[in-house]
Amino acid sequence: MNDETVLLGHGSGGTMMKRIIDDVFAASYGSEELAQGNDAAVLPAPTPGERLAFSTDTFVVTPHFFPGGNIGRLAVCGTVNDVATSGAQVKYLSVGMVLEEGFPMDDLRRICATIAETAAEAGVHVVTGDTKVVNRGHGDGIYINTAGIGLIPEGRNLSGASCMPGDKVLVSGTLGDHGIAIMSQREGLSFSAPIESDAAPLNRLIGAVLEAAPDTRCFRDPTRGGLASTLNEFAEQSGVDIVVREDDAPVKDVVRGACDMLGYDVFQVANEGKMVCVVPADQADAALEAMKAAPYGTDAAIIGEIQEARADRGPKVYLETGFGTKRILDMLVGEQLPRIC
């Protein structure tokens, strides 16, 4: 295909649409199922006792390319990680594209190549998709929707409602990298050291933790709203208090400095390649060791614990500061960093 930009005809359902599907999408991440050309992918049924996990997400990040990745990597990692938090083995993805007329075809090819690379890294197959093209000036270049399907083994039941007093809270790495990387790129900010997005598929890390700590209560990726929102969700679901130690939470110095300069709370800044998990206290060390040995888990840490909530008020999340004081760690209110995923 020799077209240099996306045209309205590429979403028309005719020969131009067939060209973009065959020469860009299928050429980048085509699978046997996708090559069948049907409106629905026919996939093997799960074995008796297994359950399906299914999730979908839409990605509208700007800019489309940023240090550490692009919208294509984000689209694969975000959905893979969402499905994997259920304890599922992630198998299949769909990729839906909303393209703006005039979007550079070379950029689209780069994004599709990244989708293929990231899907291969995660061990998942892109099996179906969709393409729409909107008029010039009505689409910000490219939006991507991905949906994922995975299989949950029999007997595995993970939920944010399963946290119990005494459990430990772990995070798989440094906080705030993605949100600050996007902001620095968008606003042309430079810091003493480069800040890159942490976007990464974490399904293998989750699998390693479940092997080492089979009674793990739950996983969640702290994306929009950051760690603070994730922990408040756990506290509300389980009716417990959570206490996190500020000094134990891994944060890169350059990210902390950027947050201080910009007035952001690093615990509310988005992450795209980190996982929070809650495990029984007697399995916490094994879970931490498994995280550290897995790809993208080098900086993992135990950062807090679950406590019984007081009867005279609702569940709360507290942060123990480096000064020995304690403050409430609230969920993010409003939009701190627009268009970060």
Q: Are residues 34 and 12 in the same domain?
A: yes
DSSP string, 179-228: HHHHHHHHHT---SS---------HHHHHHHHHH-TT--EEE---TTHHH
- The H helix count followed by the E strand count for the chain is 10, 13
| pLDDT bracket for residue 12 (50, 70, 90) | low
User: Is residue 251 a part of any domain in this protein?
Assistant: yes
Q: Are residues 102 and 178 in the same domain?
A: no
User: Which range of residues forms the domain containing residue 242?
Assistant: 160-328
Of 190-204, 207-221, 327-341, give the range with the top mean pLDDT: 207-221
- Orientation angle between helical segments 177-187 and 253-262, nearest 10 degrees: 60
Percent of all residues in the chain with a pLDDT value above 70, rounded to a whole number: 97
- Counting every residue written for the chain, the total comes to 341
Instruction: Mark which of 114, 129, 152 sits at the end of a domain.
Output: 152
Residue 169 has pLDDT above 70, yes or no: yes
Q: What is the pLDDT of residue 38?
A: 67
Q: Are residues 119 and 171 in the same domain?
A: no
CATH of the domain at 137: 3.30.1330.10
Prediction pTM value: 0.91
Of 13-22, 170-179, 261-270, give the range with the top mean pLDDT: 170-179
Number of structural domains (the chain) is 2
Q: Are residues 185 and 321 in the same domain?
A: yes
Q: Are residues 177 and 316 in the same domain?
A: yes
Residue 261 has pLDDT above 70, yes or no: yes
Q: Are residues 284 and 143 in the same domain?
A: no
Picking from 66, 135, 124, 136, the residue whose alpha carbon sits closest to that of residue 95 is 124
User: Is residue 167 a part of any domain in this protein?
Assistant: yes
Per-residue tokens: 105:
């075809």
Strand locations in the chain, DSSP E?
51-59, 65-66, 69-70, 89-100, 125-134, 142-152, 168-171, 218-220, 240-245, 276-279, 301-308, 317-320, 326-328
Q: What is the pLDDT of residue 184?
A: 86
Q: Are residues 173 and 306 in the same domain?
A: yes
User: Is residue 263 a part of any domain in this protein?
Assistant: yes
Helix (H, G, I), strand (E, B) or coil at 298: coil
Q: What is the mean pLDDT of the chain?
A: 92
Q: Are residues 164 and 148 in the same domain?
A: no
* Amino acid of residue 330: D
Q: Are residues 35 and 123 in the same domain?
A: yes
Percent of all residues in the chain with a pLDDT value above 90, rounded to a whole number: 75
